[in-house]
Structure 1
Amino acid sequence: MATEDTAVASAPRDAGAGLSAQALRTYPIAPGVTLNVRSGPGTHFGIVRTLPAGSSVPIYCQCPGESVSGPYGTSRIWDNIANGQFVSDAYVHTGSDGYVASRCS
């Protein structure tokens, strides 16, 4: 089982505010990957938690950060999955090499 060293940036304090559970889309992380969620958009940030293989994540917003190579290519995009919690988009199957959500402010 692979472990990804992903980063996290400060998410908006109201990440997901106003979105109903039914309206929020989730995206699967790469199969067989245990994904580290970090406190900033780079692998030098601390690990906040770890997502088990088979997890799906919401994307509230996205921001640029450290370049990471993963199963879905190399990307500088980081996905905000909760307040202050980001993962590298290179490990999330969004079906796009670009942004699929608004930029984090």
Structure 2
Amino acid sequence: MSVDQITDAAGEDENATTEAVTTLAAAGSYPVAPGYRLNVRSGPGTGYSVVRVLSEGARVQINCQSPGTWVAGPYGTSNIWDNIGSGQYVSDAYIRTGSDGYVAPRC
């Protein structure tokens, strides 16, 4: 094992896991919860200004994710905020990622 290779408690290569998550996040887009117009904010929290609003049926590509304000939404309660562009964040509680945790690298 090289110095650069790190394994977790299950013996899995963390670098490979991170690369796989990054590849999946970059390869696809995720839908906004049906029936919602979603505020896009300038930072990872409800205290940041709204920079635009996503229309119903929108899909987003997640560049990275940050912890921020806790939000209750159709996909549970989460403090994960998805960066969808420069200075553009949406609450992960409104995005169907298929996971309660991080699906992209942290910002």
Q: What interval of TM-score do these two structures reach, taking the shorter chain for normalisation?
A: 0.7 to 0.9
Give unpaired runs (5+ residues) of structure 1.
1-22
**Which is richer in strand?**
1
**Which is richer in helix?**
2
**Structure ID, larger Rg:** 2
Report the TM-score when normalising by structure 2: 0.75
Percentage of pairs with the same residue: 66
Report the TM-score when normalising by structure 1: 0.76
Corresponding residue number in structure 2 for 1:91: 94
Question: Any idea what SS the aligned residue of 1:78 has?
Answer: strand
Corresponding residue number in structure 2 for 1:50: 53
Give unpaired runs (5+ residues) of structure 2.
1-25
Question: Runs (4+) of structure 1 moved beyond 3 Å?
Answer: none
Per-residue CA deviations over 1:68-93 (Å, capped at 9, x if unaligned) read 00000000000000011000000000
Q: Distance in 2 between matches of 1:60 and 1:45?
A: 19
Q: Distance in 2 between matches of 1:86 and 1:44?
A: 12
Q: Distance in 2 between matches of 1:50 and 1:40?
A: 14
Q: CA RMSD in A?
A: 0.8
Residue type at the aligned position of 1:85? Q
- Provide the aligned length of Structure 1 versus Structure 2: 82
Of structures 1 and 2, the one with the larger relative CO (CA 8 A, separation 6+) is: 1
